[in-house]
Amino acid sequence: MAMTPTALPTALIVEDEPEIAELVKFHLQRTGIDASITRSGRRALELARHSPPNLMVLDLMLPDLNGLEVCRRLKENDATKSIPVVMLTASGSEEDIIAGLEMGADDYVTKPFSPRVLMARLQNAMRKRGVSATQPADILTRLDGKLVIDRQRHVVTCLGAGISLTITEFEMLLTLAQRVGFVRTRKQIIAAVHGPLTMLSPRTIDVHMTAIRRKLGAVGAALETVRGVGYRFSEDGLE
Ligand code: CA
C-alpha cells in the first residue's frame, strides 16, 4: 500500500477485519477522502510518520500491536501527534475507551456501527481538529448565543443573563465547551481544571457538574453524561 501525495484529504484505516476496513473505506471515499487500509499497527505508525494522514481510524484489536499502543506512540511523536484519531472499539470496552481518550484519541465508534454515525464522528473529528488549530478566541459562543463564555474576564452569560460560577465550575464548563461533541473523562477534566496534582476526585467532578447544570437551567442539558466514560458538551438536542 502506498500513500501518494494528493490534494484530497487522506485517511488511514488501521483494521484487520477486511469487511469492516472496506466498509469504512467505501464511506470515506464517497465523501471525497482518499482512504487507505493497513491491518498492521506497526505499519500504520511507519506510514503515519512518513506521510501523516488527515485522519486515522484505529481498531483497538490488531494482530501485531494493540491499538492503544499505536495511539500512545502516535501521540508521543511530534510528526504524528496532531493526527485526529477515532478508535473503533468492541461494545462494552469502556476501559479501553477511557484509556484511548486519555492517550489523546479524539473520539470512538463502537462496533457494530451505522455508517451514518461513523461518518458523523469522523467528519466531526477532522473538523474540530481544523478549528482547534486556529488561535483560541477569548469569547466562546455556543448554542447560537444562548451560552457565552468570556475566558479573559471569567464571565458566563446564559440566555442573556450573567451567572455566577465558582472557579472550578467555570474551568470545567470551559474545558467541555471548548471541544463540542467530544467526550472528556473525569480524569481529563480534573487534569484540565487543576493540573495533575489536584485533590479533586472523580466523585467531586460529578458534584460540581450537578451544580453547573443547575445554574445553567435549560442550557444545562448541553452537558451530557456519557455513561461509564465521562461528560460531553453537545449542541444537539437543545431547542
Ligand atoms: Ca480487529
**pLDDT tens for each residue of 88-131:** 998 778 899 999 999 999 999 999 998 888 988 998 888 877 63
Q: How many angstroms separate the alpha carbon of residue 224 from the centre of ligand 1?
A: 29
User: pLDDT value at position 4?
Assistant: 43
Helices (H), the chain: 18-30, 41-50, 67-75, 94-103, 115-132, 167-177, 186-194, 202-216
- Grid cell in block for residue 176: 467541555
User: pLDDT value at position 238?
Assistant: 66
* CATH of the domain spanning 10-128, picked from 3.30.830.10, 3.30.200.20, 3.40.50.1360, 3.40.50.2300: 3.40.50.2300
- Grid cell in block for residue 177: 465547551
**pLDDT tens for each residue of 157-174:** 998 888 999 888 999 999
Neighbours of ion ligand 1 (CB under 5 A): 16, 59, 61
* Assigned CATH for 139-233: 1.10.10.10
User: pLDDT value at position 98?
Assistant: 94
Cβ atoms of 128 and 106 closer than 8 Å: yes
Average pLDDT over residues 218-234: 95
pLDDT at 134 over 60: no
Q: How many angstroms separate the alpha carbon of residue 59 from the centre of ligand 1?
A: 6
How far apart, in whole angstroms, are the C-alpha atoms of residue 76 and residue 74?
A: 6
How far apart, in whole angstroms, are the C-alpha atoms of residue 94 and residue 101?
A: 11
Give residue 198's pLDDT band: very low, low, confident or very high (50, 70, 90). Answer: low
| Domain ranges for the chain | 10-128, 139-233
Cβ atoms of 37 and 22 closer than 8 Å: yes
pLDDT at 197 over 90: no
Q: Between the ranges 19-23, 29-33, 128-132, 150-154, where is the mean pLDDT highest?
A: 19-23
* Selected residue with higher pLDDT from 129 and 46: 46
Average pLDDT over residues 144-160: 86
Global pTM value? 0.61
- Grid cell in block for residue 105: 484519541
Q: How many angstroms separate the alpha carbon of residue 82 from the centre of ligand 1?
A: 24
